[in-house]
């Protein structure tokens, strides 16, 4: 069991971040008076939340995964849903990468043309 300051430091997040996820119902630390106490379960949930955010999942999607984790002891449904969402995210990211590659190509071409034009003007 750890207090909010220790958990924030351990996870590299702000107190505000922990309070936000509590408000959103993703974590539920115990209360002793006004003090929040985080169990290993809550810290584990926060690690999953942070990983989900890094991977680009929405709060709603992360909540759905966590709810399935709690409701499905064998984690079969959760894993199926996770695979679905991961595949969707991969498709989105690959599309974004193609768009970025095209933009980079076009900007490089413009840069080369502008550099060539500038060098001609200087002669």
CATH of the domain at 9: 1.10.1660.10
Dump pLDDT digits (tens) for 63-103.
988 887 776 666 677 778 788 888 999 999 999 999 999 99
Residue 11 belongs to a domain = yes
Q: What is the 3-state secondary structure (H, E, C) of 46-69?
A: HHHHHHHHHCCCCHHHHHHHHHHH
> Residue 61's domain spans which residues?
2-71
Give yes or no for residue 118 having a pLDDT over 70: yes
Residue 81 belongs to a domain = no
pTM of the model: 0.70
- The total number of structural domains in the chain stands at 1
Residue 27 belongs to a domain = yes
Residue 82 belongs to a domain = no
Per-residue pLDDT, averaged over 110-122, amounts to: 88
Using a 10 angstrom Cβ sphere, with 0-12 exposed, 13-18 middle and 19 or more buried, the burial of residue 76 is exposed
Residue 25 belongs to a domain = yes
Q: What is the predicted pLDDT for the residue at 87?
A: 93
Residue 86 belongs to a domain = no
| 22 band by pLDDT with thresholds 50, 70 and 90 | very high
């Amino acid at each position: 069991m750890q207090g909010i300051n220790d958990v924030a430091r351990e996870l590299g997040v702000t107190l505000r971040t922990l309070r936000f996820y509590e408000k959103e119902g993703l974590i539920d630390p115990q209360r002793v008076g006004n003090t929040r106490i985080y169990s290993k379960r809550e810290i584990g949930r926060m690690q999953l939340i942070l990983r989900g955010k890094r991977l680009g999942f929405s709060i709603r999607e992360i909540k759905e995964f966590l709810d399935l984790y709690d409701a499905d002891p064998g984690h079969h449904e959760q894993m199926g849903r996770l695979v679905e969402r991961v595949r969707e995210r991969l498709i989105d990211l690959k599309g974004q990468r193609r768009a970025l590659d095209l933009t980079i190509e076009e900007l490089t071409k413009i840069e080369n043309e502008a550099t060539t034009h500038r060098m001609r003007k200087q002669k």
